[in-house]
Amino acid sequence: MKILVDFLQNKKIEEAQIFAQLKCSVNEALILKDLSKKYMEGQDDVLVRELLGELYDDAGFEHLSHLQEVKILLELGWIHQQSFTPVKISEVTPLELLNTAVGLSPSFLKLLQDGAPDIEILDIKPYTDHLEYLQDQFFRIELYQKMSTIRQNVHEHSLGIDRVQHKLQLLEQRITQRVEQTTEKLVLDKFFKQKKFQMKEEVIFLALLREEYSATDASLREMNTLIDLISLDEYDRIKNRSLLEDGSSLLNDGIIDYEEMLNPFGGISRAFYIVDEILQSIIHPHKNKKVRRLKLNAVIDEQDIFELIEPDTSLEDVVLAKETQTTLENLMRQVDKEVVGRLVEWGIKDKKSGIDARIIFYGHAGTGKTMTAYSLAKSLKRQVLAFDCSKILSMYVGESEKNVRKIFDTFYDLCEKTKSEPILLLNEADQFLGARSSGVSSGSEQMHNQMQNIFLEQIENFKGMLIATTNLLENIDKAFSRRFNYKIEFKKPDEAQRLQLWKKMLPVNAPYDDKFDVKELAKYSLTGGQISLIIKNTAYKVAVTDEPLFTFDDFVSEIKREKDANFDSEKSMGFLSK
C-alpha cells in the first residue's frame, strides 16, 4: 500500500509515484487525490458539485470551470458514475455532470494497490489454437474502436486516447511475441503474410472478420466506419479511402467485396464483407474445399447463347421519369438487409434466396430500356447474361420446345458453375410474350404456341432476376403479364428530361458557337437514343472541318435528317453520355 500512502501524503502531486501513469493534468490528479481520501473515509461516491466545491471556490462559481476535468477523468477510466442510468460521457456537456455522483474505478484502485494499470495482456506464451489467436486480434479491434470513438467525441483532451493507444501497442507486441513462440501454423497469420497486408488493410480485414463471428448489427461494415477506424484525422481519412475504393488491393485480389444500398437520404452506401471463399478458409481452416468458384467470363465461351455484359454505368447515370426511378429504387431495396429480414419474418421470402424479380421494361425504341437494365445491374453489383430474342426463330427452327428450355438450362448451369447470380436479360422479347394463336391451323403457328407455352412455364418457375424488354405492352398475352411482378414503362422524355439528356451527352471540351443554346435543342421531341446518335453524327461532321465549331444549326440539320429517316425504329443505347 506504499503507492496509496505516497499518493495521499505527497504535497506535490506531480512527484507521486503513479502520476506519470495517470496521463492527466495536475488539477485532474488533485481531484483523484480528494476522491481517494473520501474513499479511505468510507465514501464510495461523491456528488461532483460537492467535490469541486471543496476544492475550489463555489461562491464565485470557480468550481464550474473544472467540470471539464471531471469529464476527462471519466473518459480516462479513472473514475466512473455511481448511477442506475449512466449517460454516455462522449455525448454530454460538462455541465450535465454537475449533479452526478462519481467514484473511483476498479482500474484506478488497482493502480493504487499495485502501481500498474489494469492491462490484461501480461502473459507471453504460445497460442494453443487458432481461436485463441483470433480472440487477441478481436480485442485489438475493440481498442481501435475505442480510439475512433475518442477521436470523434473528445476535442479538448488527448490523454484518453494516449492510454488506449498505449494498451494497443502492448497488445500488438504481445501478439507478435506469442506468434513467434507458436510452432503450429496459424491460418490467419499465414494469410496476412502471404498477401503482404499493410497494417491498415489488416485492421480492415479483422474488423470485417469480427462482424462475421459476432453476428452484430454490422456496424463495422459501413465504408465510413471502417475508414474512421484506421484514420487519425481528416487528411488521413481522405488518404485511406483508397483502401476501400474500386482498384484497391483488397477488392482487386478478391479478398473483400461490397453491397451498394440506398440510404435514407437518397444516396448509395457501401457495406463491405469478406468474400465467401476467403471467409471459409479462415473459419474452417482444416476443411478442404473441393469445388472452386469460377468467374462467369471464364466459362462464357463454352456456350453460344448468351452475351456476358459487364455494366459500367449505374442508375445515377441514367435519366428516367420520376415514377420509373421510384419503382427501380424500391426494387433495389429488396437487397437491403432490414427489408429482407421483414420479408423472411412474414414468410414471403426464403432466407437463402437472393433478389426475386421478373420485370418487363416496355416503351418506344430509344427510351433507354436496355441501358437501364445494364445500369440497374451495375447498381446491384451484378453481371448480365443477355439473350437477343429476335434470333430465336432463325436459330431454333424445328426444335422450339427443346431449345427454349436450353436458354434457361444454360443460364442455370452458368449460375451453378460460378456460384453467382447474374441478371437474365431477354432483349426484344415481343414474340415470346405476344398473344398466343387460337384455332391453330399451320405448323408454324403450332410451333410458335409450343415455344410460348414452354417460355411461360420457365417464367413461372424462374428464381432470381429476369428482365424482358418489349416495345408494346398491349400485345402481351395476359398469362405472361400475370407472371411479371414489375411492369415498368419507359416514356419518351419531356422537355425537362431532354434538357438533362443534352447536357449530359454534349462533349464537355468541344468548341461551341456563342449563340449556341442547348435549351432550344431540348424543345425538339426526341428520345434519349436519338439525342445520343445526333450528337455523335454532328461531332463526326464538325470534326472534319478546318475550323471545328459546334453551332445550333449543325444540330438542327442532323435532327431533321434523323426524323425524316424515321429513327424511332432504330435500336438505342439509352440515355447516357457515352
Q: What is the pLDDT of residue 246?
A: 83
d(CA 553, CA 574): 24
Residue 485 inside a domain? The answer is yes
Judged against a pLDDT cut of 90, whether residue 131 lies above it is answered with no
Q: Domain range spanning residue 62?
A: 2-114
What mean pLDDT value characterizes the chain?
81
Mean pLDDT of the 559-573 span: 63
Q: Residue 33's closest CA among 49, 54, 64?
A: 54
Lowest mean pLDDT, pick from 35-39, 108-112, 138-142: 108-112
Sheet of strand 101-104: strand arrangement: 46-47, 101-104, 79-81
Give the integer Cα–Cα distance in Å for 38 and 428: 84
Specify the 3-state DSSP secondary structure of 107.
helix
Instruction: Specify whether 86 is located in the same domain as 171.
Output: no
pLDDT in tens, 275-306: 888 888 888 766 654 445 567 777 887 777 88
Tell me what pLDDT residue 401 has: 64
For residue 575, name the pLDDT band (cuts at 50, 70, 90). Answer: very low
pLDDT tens, position by position, 499-530? 999 999 999 889 999 989 999 999 999 998 89
Q: Which residue has the cell 463471428?
A: 213
**Residue 81: CB partners within 8 Å, gap ≥ 6?**
74, 87, 100, 101, 102
pLDDT tier at 32 (50, 70, 90 boundaries)? very high
Answer yes or no: do 334 and 474 share one domain.
yes
Please report the pLDDT score of residue 536 as a whole number: 94
Please report the pLDDT score of residue 483 as a whole number. 83
Crossing angle of helices 187-195 and 276-283, rounded to 10°: 140
Map residue 175 onto helix, strand or coil. helix
**Model confidence at 531: pLDDT above 60:** yes
Q: Label residue 393 by pLDDT band (50, 70, 90).
A: low
The verdict on residue 502 lying in a domain is yes
Tens-digit pLDDT profile for residues 429-443: 877 777 666 655 566
Going by C-alpha positions, the residue among 301, 325, 224, 216 that lies closest to residue 269 is 224
The pLDDT score that the predictor gives to residue 78 is 84
pLDDT value at residue 533: 92
Q: Are residues 307 and 453 in the same domain?
A: yes
3-state secondary structure (DSSP) of residue 487: strand
User: Lowest-confidence range among 76-90, 230-244, 369-383?
Assistant: 76-90
Residues 352 and 460 occupy one common structural domain:
yes
Q: Which residue has the higher pLDDT, 524 or 166?
A: 524
Question: Looking at per-residue confidence, does 503 or 357 come out higher?
Answer: 503
Quick check: 51 pLDDT over 60? Answer: yes
| Least confidently predicted of 65-69, 182-186, 338-342 | 338-342
Phi-psi region of 562 (alpha: psi -120 to 50; beta: other; left: phi over 0): alpha
At residue 74, the pLDDT reads 82
**Do 429 and 518 reside in the same domain of the chain?**
no
Judge if 107 and 151 occupy the same domain: no
User: Is the predicted pLDDT of residue 10 greater than 50, yes or no?
Assistant: yes
Residues 347 and 469 in one domain: yes
Helix (H, G, I), strand (E, B) or coil at 286: coil
In whole angstroms, give the CA distance from residue 502 to residue 518: 7
Which value, in Å, is the radius of gyration of the alpha carbons in the chain? 33
Alpha-carbon gap, residue 117 to 103, rounded angstroms: 17
- d(Cα 151, Cα 153) in Å, to the nearest integer? 6
Q: For residue 53, is pLDDT > 80? A: yes
- Among 32-46, 255-269, 520-534, where is mean pLDDT lowest? 255-269
What CATH number should be reported for the domain holding residue 501?
1.10.8.60
- Residue 441 has a pLDDT of 57
Residue 255 domain flag: yes
**309 shares its domain with 452:** yes
b/e map 92-104, b = 16+ CB within 10 Å? eebeebeebebbb
CA distances from 143 to 94, 124, 161 (A): 25, 19, 10
* Mean pLDDT value of segment 306-312: 87
Strands 486-490, 465-470: parallel, antiparallel or unpaired by DSSP? unpaired
pLDDT of residue 11: 85
Least-confidence region, from 1-10, 284-293, 328-337, 557-566: 284-293
Nearest-10 crossing angle of helices 369-379, 322-332: 30
122 occurs within a structural domain: no
Average pLDDT over residues 134-141: 90
Same domain, 506 and 479: no
> pLDDT value at position 86?
46
Note whether residue 436 is domain-resident. Answer: yes
Quote the pLDDT of residue 577. Answer: 38
- pLDDT value, residue 551: 93
**pTM higher than 0.75 for the full model?**
no
pLDDT at 366: 85
Q: At residue 97, what is the residue type?
A: L
Domain end point (choices 81, 114, 147): 114
Within a domain: 174: yes
Cell of 275: 468474400
End residue of a domain, out of 457, 490, 523: 490
Confidence of residue 154 (pLDDT cuts 50, 70, 90): very low
- 31 domain-assigned: yes
- Give me the pLDDT at residue 145, please: 87
How many Å is the maximal CA-CA distance in the chain?
112
> Are 53 and 108 a contacting pair, CB within 8 Å?
no
pLDDT at 2 over 50: yes
pLDDT value of position 218: 53
Q: Which of 235, 257, 283 is the last residue of a domain?
A: 283
Summarised one tens digit per residue, pLDDT across range 171-195 is: 888 899 989 999 888 889 999 999 9
258 lies in the same domain as 301: no
Most confident of 88-92, 102-106, 237-241, 461-465: 237-241
Task: Examine the domain organization and report whether 352 and 412 are in the same domain.
Answer: yes
Residue 218 neighbours by CB distance under 10 Å? 16
Number of domains observed in the structure of the chain: 4
Average pLDDT over residues 204-213: 89
Q: Are residues 388 and 478 in the same domain?
A: yes
Pairing of strands 465-470, 423-427: parallel
Nearest-angstrom CA–CA distance, 454 and 459: 9
Of 197 and 266, the one with more pLDDT: 197
Question: What separation in angstroms does the CA of 291 have from each of 251, 308, 313?
Answer: 22, 23, 32
CATH number at residue 328: 3.40.50.300
User: Which region among 46-50, 294-298, 308-312, 351-355 has the lowest average model confidence (pLDDT)?
Assistant: 351-355
- Between these two residues, 312 and 153, which has the higher pLDDT value? 312
Answer whether residue 463 is part of any domain. Answer: yes
Given a cut of 60, whether residue 119 has pLDDT beyond it is no
